[in-house]
């Protein structure tokens, strides 16, 4: 009997020793993660808190306290715990605003980000550049940048694109989940919607060139593979996927195929991994380890230098176990370290990759300093609808009359020429 007791005691001690060793290892990885996050800003590519402010409060920020807001993935205590160094806040409005009030509603989303920074200056610093991000990080504030999610927010206007840039917008997601008059969205690749442009229209290509000139990041989340390839072919600057994961791990059309991962690497761009369960495991359930699988796969296929974080918090209905809100991101960093990622690889994914991309986009902008803004509008026939006026475009009736007069003048000129020209003998 005594022998059995001794065996049980030894077994229990062995199990406890293993548990303590495991806890110690986890603590070591977390301590290392927090150290790296104190040295390099965690830059997240996509957060929809501004849309939650619209949905829950109609942007009445005076009625909200972000120190205590309990109904979102994101609030100030969670941001602090999650060591969030910089955030691209999404200025998103749904596709049903297209051809209606998309521009107004998007401007209101841009406004609410500005006001959020003004209301909480001890936490947020509005940022528009790589230098701003580092200055905010040194001040222990979260650099707050803006990305417009969906080309329908422009109403097919290069002037609107430029105006939004002047208001601080630093990326445009070319489509959301609807085609624009100049680009196809990801649903085309599922077969649920028809292609309207075979990727980008001529105006869509104009827009890419103008974004390069402005220094605005081109975001390829939400577009077709055809659009991805077209932009990668023509953009002078690196591109981003602000919140997309790896297609080979989860074959959802919102994710990035391996061949595109390799092309992004060639262009020195970045893919910022999305945490939405449906894009992580192609099911309604997922966990932190499943998200880390996407990081591992992208690193294996294209290298650690194209990876970033694009959680999509407050824009999705399901998030992985272990990544329930923005406060949990250090646990993912610790998991990458547990899987053998080096300090340099982790720092690249945390923020150095995005900083490099942004600096290169700024460099391309500066190299194009002498280029004039493109002011050739989209053809009216491509945007004609009951909610749009045609001011500035030629009147169709006058244009037809002018064309007839030109033809008549040409015929008269030919007739006169034949009358005054001697006939050859």
Q: What is the 3-state secondary structure (H, E, C) of 275-329?
A: CCHHHHCCCCCCEHHHHHHHHHHHHHHHCHHHEEECCCECCCCCCCECCCCHHHH
At residue 395, the pLDDT reads 81
Contacts 24+ apart (CB under 8 A), 48-51: 48/90, 48/92, 48/312, 48/313, 48/314, 48/315, 49/73, 49/74, 49/89, 49/313, 49/314, 50/89, 50/90, 50/91, 50/92, 50/109, 50/112, 50/113, 50/116, 51/90, 51/92, 51/109, 51/314, 51/315
Q: Which DSSP letter does residue 182 get?
A: T
What pLDDT digit, counting tens, does each position of 204-225 carry?
999 999 999 999 999 999 999 9
Q: Which DSSP letter does residue 216 get?
A: P
**CATH class of this structure's domain 24-367:** alpha beta
| Residue 111 vs residue 24, higher pLDDT | 111
- Whole-number Cα distances in Å, 272 to 31, 113, 176, 239: 24, 21, 16, 11
pLDDT tier at 26, thresholds 50, 70, 90: confident
| Residue 326 vs residue 417, higher pLDDT | 326
| Helix 225-234, helix 258-266: angle, nearest 10 | 10
At residue 367, the pLDDT reads 98
Q: What is the pTM of this model?
A: 0.89
| Rounded Cα gap, residues 407 and 258, in angstroms | 55
Q: How many CA atoms lie within 13 A of 70 on its CB side?
A: 0
Which positions are annotated as active-site residues? 46, 48, 149, 176, 222, 243, 312
At residue 396, the pLDDT reads 62
Spell out the domain ranges in the chain.
Answer: 24-367
> Mean pLDDT, to the nearest integer, of 28-34?
98
Q: Is the pLDDT of residue 400 over 80?
A: no
Spatial CA neighbour of 88 closest among 212, 204, 173: 173
- Are β-strands 124-126 and 169-173 bridged in parallel, bridged antiparallel, or unpaired? unpaired
- Say if residues 134 and 77 touch (Cβ distance below 8 Å): no
Q: What is the mean pLDDT of the chain?
A: 91
| Rounded Cα gap, residues 353 and 40, in angstroms | 11
For the CA atoms of 248, 250, 255, 256, the dihedral, rounded to the nearest 10 degrees, stands at -10
At residue 405, the pLDDT reads 43
């Amino acid at each position: 009997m005594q022998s059995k007791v001794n065996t049980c005691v030894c077994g229990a001690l062995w199990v406890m020793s293993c548990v303590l060793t495991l806890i110690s290892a986890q603590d070591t990885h977390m301590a290392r993660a927090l150290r790296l996050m104190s040295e390099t800003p965690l830059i997240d590519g996509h957060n929809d808190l501004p849309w939650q402010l619209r949905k829950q409060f109609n942007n009445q920020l005076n009625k909200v306290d972000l120190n205590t807001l309990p109904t979102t993935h994101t609030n100030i205590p969670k941001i602090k715990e999650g060591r969030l160094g910089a955030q691209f806040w999404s200025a998103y409005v749904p596709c049903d605003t297209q051809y209606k009030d998309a521009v107004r509603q998007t401007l209101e989303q841009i406004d609410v980000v500005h006001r959020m920074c003004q209301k909480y200056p001890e936490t947020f610093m509005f940022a528009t550049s790589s230098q701003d991000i580092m200055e905010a990080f040194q001040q222990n504030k979260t650099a707050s940048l803006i990305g417009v999610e969906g080309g329908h927010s422009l109403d097919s206007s290069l002037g609107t694109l430029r105006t939004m840039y002047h208001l601080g917008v630093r990326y445009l997601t070319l489509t959301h989940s609807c085609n624009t008059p100049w680009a196809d969205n990801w649903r085309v690749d599922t077969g649920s919607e028809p292609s309207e442009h075979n990727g980008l229209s001529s105006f869509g290509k104009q827009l890419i060139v103008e974004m390069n000139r402005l220094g605005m990041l081109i975001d390829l989340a939400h577009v077709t593979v055809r659009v991805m390839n077209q932009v990668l072919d023509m953009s002078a600057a690196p591109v981003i996927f602000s919140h997309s994961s790896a297609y080979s791990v989860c074959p959802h059309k919102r994710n990035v195929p391996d061949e595109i991962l390799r092309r992004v690497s060639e262009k020195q761009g970045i893919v910022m991994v999305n945490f939405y369960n449906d894009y992580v495991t192609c099911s309604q359930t997922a966990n932190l380890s499943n998200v880390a699988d996407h990081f591992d796969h992208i690193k294996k296929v294209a290298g650690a230098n194209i990876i970033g974080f694009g959680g999509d918090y407050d824009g999705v209905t399901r998030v992985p176990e272990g990544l329930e809100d923005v406060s949990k991101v250090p646990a993912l960093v610790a998991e990458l370290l547990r899987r053998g990622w080096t300090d340099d690889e982790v720092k690249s994914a945390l923020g150095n990759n995005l900083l490099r991309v942004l600096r290169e986009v700024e460099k391309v902008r500066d190299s194009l300093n002498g280029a004039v803004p493109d002011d050739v509008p989209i053809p009216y026939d491509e945007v004609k609808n009951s909610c749009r006026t045609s001011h500035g475009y030629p009147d169709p009736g006058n244009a037809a009359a002018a064309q007839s007069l030109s033809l008549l003048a040409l015929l008269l000129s030919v007739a006169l020429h034949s009358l005054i020209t001697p006939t050859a003998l």
